Amino acid sequence: MSTSKNSVSKENKINYILYLADTTLILSHRNSEWCGHAPIIEQDIALTNIALDLLGQARNFYQYAAELIGNNATEDSLAYLRIENEYKNLLLTELPNDDWGNTVLRQFYFSVYQFYLYQQLQKSDDEQLVAIANKAIKEVSYHVRWSGEWVVRLGDGTKESHQRMLNAIENLKNYLGEMFIAADYETAMNIDLNTIQKQWDEKVTSVFAEATLPLPKNIFNHIGGKTGVHTEYLGYILTEMQYLQRTYPNAVW
Amino acid sequence: MNNLIKKFFYGDYGEIEEGASTSQDDQWPLWEIFIRSKQGLDHKHVGSLHAADAKMAIENARDVYTRRQEGISIWVVESKNITASNPDEAGELFEPAQDKIYRHPTFYHLPEKVNHM
């Protein structure tokens, strides 16, 4: 990244930070739906830990965005009081969890993307983004490791687990391209998505080879999440997530 | 119903509910977890958990037992590899030591020059 502070408009920067915040928040929420339902308590804790890591990252991004927006915006107003078409999260993150295989494969796809993305943010000339990326990348490294091991375990496991991973690959395949197709505000931020895609391809290919899984084929790329055009699922997520704040405005802990 | 009293030994699963599957085949093995804290010199037993293999046991232990900075090193041992003393034999194993308090080092007088012991 060769961004200089003056070359990025404030609006683009805010949109980009909201994209990072919304994406981590929505995936955190999806993962949190497993709390109390995972196949075994140890994995319940593991996935809930990941949900909490993502929530922590989302908070950091929202706080920074709120600071830039001003106007009494807070992390809570950004998370709880915006509607679907203001949300900029990747479509991938709002898809239903489906089974465990689908959940860990989605986490793996996303964590690998996030890892290489944060590597670029670490070199950003925005000190705040550098600080967030530095803190978060250690968490993300572990998410890549944890989810990658599950992909191998299930892909190269039993006949049943292999079939479920094939189903998951099919389920998710049309929602991967969006990660690498830049929205205008990303282009403005000079994020090098081509490099990220190359690194992502390499990592996914090597883990899939170990997992004896085929790479996704016949892909059609659904896009829109980054600019607020979402699947039907996001509305339901926000309804549940924002219920309390909308029913009891300004409620605090 | 001869077996009214069931003894449990270290590493056993708990009581199995009436009607529940009694097969252990669908359970992941149990692992004993040892953690060394930052200042600690040795690994201490902290508990046990289920995992499919050693690698997963380490990761589960990381999530279950080190979330609050409890440790910097983890050991895992599959519970079945631990041989425990039988509580029924506690008498012969441990009681003979009870009346031999002279085995404690308090009976030795240290030379004055030796401090801090």
pLDDT digits (tens, 9 = 90+) for B40-96: 889 999 999 999 999 999 999 999 999 888 899 999 999 999 998 888 888 888 888
Choose among B50, B55, B63: nearest Cβ to A46: B63
pLDDT, residue B9, reads 55
Residue A108 has pLDDT above 70, yes or no: yes
- Is the pLDDT score of B15 beyond 70? no
Give the model's pLDDT for residue A165.
98
Burial of A147 (0-12, 13-18, 19+ CB in 10 A): buried
State the CATH architecture for B30-107.
Roll (3.10)
Confidence category of residue A190, pLDDT binned at 50, 70, 90: confident
A158 in reach of chain B (CB within 8 A):
no
Q: Are strands B73-78 and B44-50 parallel, antiparallel or unpaired?
A: unpaired
pLDDT tens-digit profile of A119-156?
A: 999 999 899 999 999 999 999 999 999 999 999 999 99
Is a pLDDT exceeding 90 seen at residue B25? Answer: no
Subunit contact B60:A42, Cβ cutoff 8 A:
yes
Per-residue confidence at B8, pLDDT binned at 50, 70, 90?
low
- Taking chain A, what is the end-to-end CA distance rounded to the nearest angstrom? 40
* Positive or negative torsion for Cα B87, B93, B96, B98: negative
Write out the two tokens for A86. Answer: 């203001």
The reply to whether B55 touches chain A by the CB within 8 Å rule is: yes
Residue A23 to residue A225: CA distance in whole angstroms: 9
In the predicted structure, residue A85 carries a pLDDT above the cut 80 = yes
**Which of the two residues, A79 and B10, has the higher pLDDT score?**
A79
Cβ neighbours of residue B93 under 8 Å, at least 6 residues apart?
B85
- Give me the phi and psi of B47, to 5 degrees please: 155, -165
Question: How many contacts, defined by CB atoms under 8 Å, are there between A and B?
Answer: 25
Residues paired with residue B53 on neighbouring β-strands, in sequence order? none
Question: Which amino acid, one-letter code, is at A4?
Answer: S
Q: Tell me whether B49 touches chain A (CB under 8 Å).
A: yes
At B11 the pLDDT is 55
Task: Compute chain A's Rg from CA coordinates.
Answer: 18
Give the pLDDT of residue B6.
Answer: 55
Q: Which segment, A37-46, A114-123, B108-117, is predicted with the most confidence on average?
A: A114-123
Q: Does B28 touch chain A (CB under 8 A)?
A: yes
Q: Cβ B63–A149 below 8 Å, yes or no? A: no
Helix (H, G, I), strand (E, B) or coil at B49: strand
Provide the sign of the torsion angle of the four alpha carbons A119, A121, A123, A128, taken in this order: negative
**A108 neighbors A115 (Cβ within 8 angstroms):** no
Residue of A nearest to B49 (CA): A42
CA pair distance B63, B65, nearest whole angstrom: 6
Q: Could you tell me the residue ranges of all domains in chain A?
A: 10-247
pLDDT of B10 over the 70 cut: no
Q: With beta carbons less than 8 A apart as the criterion, state whether A49 and A32 touch.
A: no
Contact B49 A149 (CB under 8 A): no
CA torsion angle B45 B28 B51 B85 (round to 10): 20
Establish if B65 touches chain A: CB-CB under 8 angstroms.
Answer: no
In chain B, the residue whose alpha carbon lies closest to the alpha carbon of A150 is: B56
Name the residue of chain B whose CA is nearest to A52's CA. Answer: B67
* A206-219: average pLDDT: 96
- Inform me whether the pLDDT recorded for B30 exceeds 60: yes
Confidence check: pLDDT of A11 > 70: yes
pLDDT band at B1 (very low <50, low <70, confident <90, very high): very low
Which is nearest to A94 in space by CA: A177, A201, A175, A180? A175
| Structure confidence at residue B115 as a pLDDT band (50, 70, 90) | confident
Q: What is the largest CA-CA distance in chain A?
A: 56
Beta bridge partners of B49: B31
User: What totals of helices (H) and strands (E) does chain B contain, helices first?
Assistant: 2, 3
CA distances from A231 to A33, A90, A228, A235, B110 (A): 18, 10, 10, 8, 79
Q: B74-97: string of b/e by CB count within 10 Å (b at 16+)?
A: bbbbbbeeeeeeeeeeeeeeeeee
Per-residue confidence (pLDDT) for residue B38, from 0 to 100: 86
Average confidence (pLDDT) over A185-203: 95
Which residue is it, tokens 């706080």? A63
- Which residues in chain B are closer than 8 Å to A41, comparing Cβ atoms? 50
pLDDT interval class at A45 (50, 70, 90): very high
Among A84-88, A100-104, A175-179, B99-103, name the one with the lowest average pLDDT.
B99-103
Judge if pTM exceeds 0.90: no
Is A56 part of the contact surface with chain B (CB cutoff 8 Å)? no
Most confident region among A18-27, B36-45, B90-99 by mean pLDDT = A18-27
Domain residue limits, chain B: 30-107
- The arithmetic mean of pLDDT across residues A237-253, rounded, is 92
As its CATH architecture, domain A10-247 has Up-down Bundle (1.20)
Q: Answer yes or no: is pLDDT of B110 > 70.
A: yes
pLDDT of A47 higher than 90: yes
Which residues touch B30 (CB under 8 Å, ≥6 apart)? B11, B13, B48, B49, B50, B78, B79, B80
Q: Could you tell me which chain A residue has the CA closest to the CA of B68?
A: A49
Q: Does B75 touch chain A (CB under 8 A)?
A: no
Given pLDDT bands bounded at 50, 70 and 90, which one contains residue A56?
very high
Determine the pLDDT at residue B19.
45
Q: In this prediction, does ipTM exceed 0.85?
A: no
Is the CB of residue A49 less than 8 Å away from at least one CB of chain B? Answer: yes
CA distance A30 to chain B (A): 19
What is the rounded CA–CA span in Å between residue B107 and residue A154? 62
pLDDT for residue A251 = 85
